[in-house]
């Protein structure tokens, strides 16, 4: 058996086309969606990802502002920049690229972003919204993974989904999303004694542990869906958390790296930014209307 490939590039193009249409409608109404990206320091992977995001914005008609700061910028100065973008009416989304230098607390910075402009979905207000099933921005990577599962027509209800990794930006929100769709969810992490025992029972595995080739074919139930969130830079180049060759011989569906979850993450960022512009436009419209007397 050999797994069917889930093509993230192809799927992300479909999402981008939708976003481009919504952007065109906003522009026709005099609203230009705008994303501010704050990049701190010289991390080379961060520079690669941010360039991809800026380019993707251009391609769908979203204006982007890339603001780069020296790694030595103080937390106070960065917070001031975030607050300036909160006030800026031309900006509908604010993204502070992670990781940040060690002297800056990421939670403090994320907390300073207006939840209405938090297109990463990292603010505690948006995390709480996801947890409670309330409207808010959902984090881009897990949302992109859900879109991929939907695109292959996968019914999650009653299935066993296993998430590898418990980060605030992928593992935890991913588990909540799968749970809200009726899956039975298990989260494995660093302290899980034997991951294979758990993953061999999984109908779906989302690998987001940040460990190259953690999940091998012998740890996968035949026919399972494997979603690889890993972005590990090894001597052999970019590689996921899944050992692709052995996994694809056992799995039913599998996402490649590159060309899987990454492009979907970027597409969801664009979608969130346009949603934010639509919502802010609605608020502005209703506040300028003359109240009926």
Ligand X SMILES: Nc1nc(=O)c2c([nH]1)NC[C@@H]1CN(c3ccc(C(=O)N[C@@H](CCC(=O)O)C(=O)O)cc3)C=[N+]21
Which CB atom, from 52 or from 221, has the smaller least distance to ligand X? 52
Stretches 126-134, 176-184, 215-223, 253-261: which one binds ligand X (CB under 6 A)?
Answer: 253-261
Q: Is 165 a known ligand-binding residue?
A: yes
Stretches 20-28, 92-100, 151-159, 275-283: which one binds ligand X (CB under 6 A)?
Answer: 92-100
Stretches 23-31, 142-150, 196-204, 254-262: which one binds ligand X (CB under 6 A)?
Answer: 254-262
Binding flag, residue 98, ligand X (CB under 6 A): yes
Which CB atom, from 52 or from 216, has the smaller least distance to ligand X? 52
Binding flag, residue 257, ligand X (CB under 6 A): yes
CA distance 213 to 148: 21
What residue has token string 């979907």? Answer: 264
Binding flag, residue 96, ligand X (CB under 6 A): yes
Catalytic residue among 118, 120, 241, 243: 120
Is 105 marked active-site? no
Query: Which residues are bridge partners to 218 per DSSP?
Result: none
Stretches 148-156, 213-221, 260-268, 285-293: which one binds ligand X (CB under 6 A)?
Answer: 260-268
Binding flag, residue 13, ligand X (CB under 6 A): no
Q: Please calculate the CA angle 5-7-11 and round it to the nearest 5 degrees.
A: 145
Q: Is 286 a known ligand-binding residue?
A: no
When CB distances to ligand X are compared, the closest residue is 262
In whole angstroms, the minimum distance from the beta carbon of 274 to ligand X comes to 16
Is 111 marked active-site? no
In whole angstroms, the minimum distance from the beta carbon of 51 to ligand X comes to 10
Q: According to CB under 6 A, which one of 3, 91, 95, 161 is a site residue for ligand X? A: 95
Interface with ligand X (CB under 6 A), residue total 19
User: Under rule CB under 6 A, which residues in 23-52 are in contact with ligand X?
Assistant: 48-49, 52
Per residue, what are the HEC states of the chain? CCCEECCHHHHHHHHHHHHHHHHHHHHHCCCCCEEEEEEECCCHHHHHHHHHHHHHHHHHCCEEEEEEECCCCCHHHHHHHHHHHHHCCCCCEEEECCCCCCCCCHHHHHHHCCHHHCCCCCCHHHHHHHHHCCCCCCCHHHHHHHHHHHHCCCCCCCCEEEEECCCCCCHHHHHHHHHHCCCEEEEECCCCCCHHHHHCCCCEEEECCCCCCCECHHHCCCCCEEEECCCEEECCEEECCECHHHHHCCCCEECCCCCCHHHHHHHHHHHHHHHHHHHHHHHHHHHHCCCCC
In whole angstroms, the minimum distance from the beta carbon of 55 to ligand X comes to 10
Is the separation of the CB atoms in 94 and 36 below 8 Å? yes
Binding flag, residue 231, ligand X (CB under 6 A): yes
The backbone torsions φ and ψ at residue 94, rounded to the nearest 5 degrees and listed phi first, read -125, 130
Active site residues: 53, 97, 120
- Which residues are documented as binding site? 165-167
Binding residues for ligand X (CB under 6 A): 48-49, 52, 95-98, 120, 140, 231, 238, 257-260, 262-263, 265-266
- Which residues are documented as binding site for NADP(+)? 165-167
């Amino acid at each position: 058996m050999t797994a069917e490939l889930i093509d993230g590039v192809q799927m992300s193009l479909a999402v981008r086309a939708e976003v481009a249409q919504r952007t065109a409608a906003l522009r026709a109404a005099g609203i230009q969606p705008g994303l501010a990206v704050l990049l701190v320091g010289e991390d080379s992977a961060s520079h690669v990802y941010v360039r991809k995001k800026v380019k993707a914005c251009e391609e769908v008609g979203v204006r982007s502002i890339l603001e780069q700061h020296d790694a030595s910028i103080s937390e106070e100065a960065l917070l001031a920049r975030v607050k300036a973008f909160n006030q800026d009416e031309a900006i509908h989304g604010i993204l502070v690229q992670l990781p940040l230098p060690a002297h800056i607390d990421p939670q403090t910075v994320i907390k300073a972003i207006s939840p209405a402009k938090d297109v990463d979905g990292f603010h505690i207000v948006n995390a709480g919204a996801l947890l409670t099933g309330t409207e808010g921005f959902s984090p881009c990577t897990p949302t992109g993974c859900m879109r991929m599962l939907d695109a292959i027509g996968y019914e999650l209800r009653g299935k066993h989904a296993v998430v590898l990794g418990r980060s605030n930006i992928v593992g935890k929100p991913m588990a909540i999303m799968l749970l809200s769709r009726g899956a039975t969810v298990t989260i494995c992490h660093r302290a899980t004694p034997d991951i294979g025992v758990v993953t061999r029972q999984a109908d779906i595995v989302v690998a987001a542990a940040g460990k190259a080739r953690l999940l091998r074919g012998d740890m996968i139930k035949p026919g399972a869906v494997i979603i690889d969130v890993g972005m590990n830079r090894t001597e052999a180049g970019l590689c996921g958390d899944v050992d692709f060759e052995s996994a694809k011989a056992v799995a039913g569906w599998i996402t490649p790296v590159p060309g899987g979850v990454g492009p979907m993450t970027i597409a969801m960022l664009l979608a969130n930014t346009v949603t934010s512009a639509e919502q802010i436009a609605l608020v502005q419209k209703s506040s300028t209307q003359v109240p009926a007397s």
